[in-house]
Homo-oligomer: A and B are copies of this chain.
Amino acid sequence: MPAPDLAVSQWFNTARHLDLAALRGRVVFIHTFQLLCPGCVLRGIPQAQRIERVFARTDLQVIGLHTVFEHHAAMTPVTLKAFIHEYNLTAPIGVDQPGDDGPVPVTMGRYGLQGTPSSVLIGRDGDILHRAFGVEDDILVGARIAQALAAPVARIGTAPAPPGDCAGGVCALPG
**Which of chain B's residues have a CB closer than 8 A to the CB of A147?**
146-147, 149-150
* Chain A interface SS verdict (over half): helix
Given contacts A139-B51, A140-B142, contact A83 B78 (CB under 8 A): no
Whether A71 sits at the interface, judged by CB under 8 Å, is yes
* Count of identical protomers in the assembly: 4
A146 to B139 alpha-carbon distance, docked (Å): 10
**How distant is A75 from chain B, measured CB to nearest CB, in Å?**
7
Other than the known A35-B36, A139-B141, A142-B142, what 15 A-B pairs have Cβ atoms closer than 8 Å?
A36-B86, A36-B87, A37-B86, A38-B87, A50-B137, A53-B137, A54-B137, A54-B139, A54-B143, A55-B143, A70-B82, A71-B82, A74-B81, A79-B79, A143-B146
Whether A73 sits at the interface, judged by CB under 8 Å, is yes
Q: Which residue of B lies closest to A71 (CB)?
A: B82
Given contacts A140-B54, A143-B55, A150-B150, contact A78 B73 (CB under 8 A): yes
A38 to B86 alpha-carbon distance, docked (Å): 7
Number of interface residues of A (CB under 8 A): 39
CB contacts under 8 Å to B, within A8-64, are 35-38, 41-42, 47, 50-51, 53-55
Instruction: Map CB proximity to B onto A81-94 as digits: 1 under 8 Å, 0 otherwise.
Output: 11101110000000
Whether A5 sits at the interface, judged by CB under 8 Å, is no
**Which of chain B's residues have a CB closer than 8 A to the CB of A142?**
138-143, 146
Whether A145 sits at the interface, judged by CB under 8 Å, is yes
Please tell me if the beta carbons of B50 and A139 are within 8 angstroms of each other in the complex.
Answer: yes
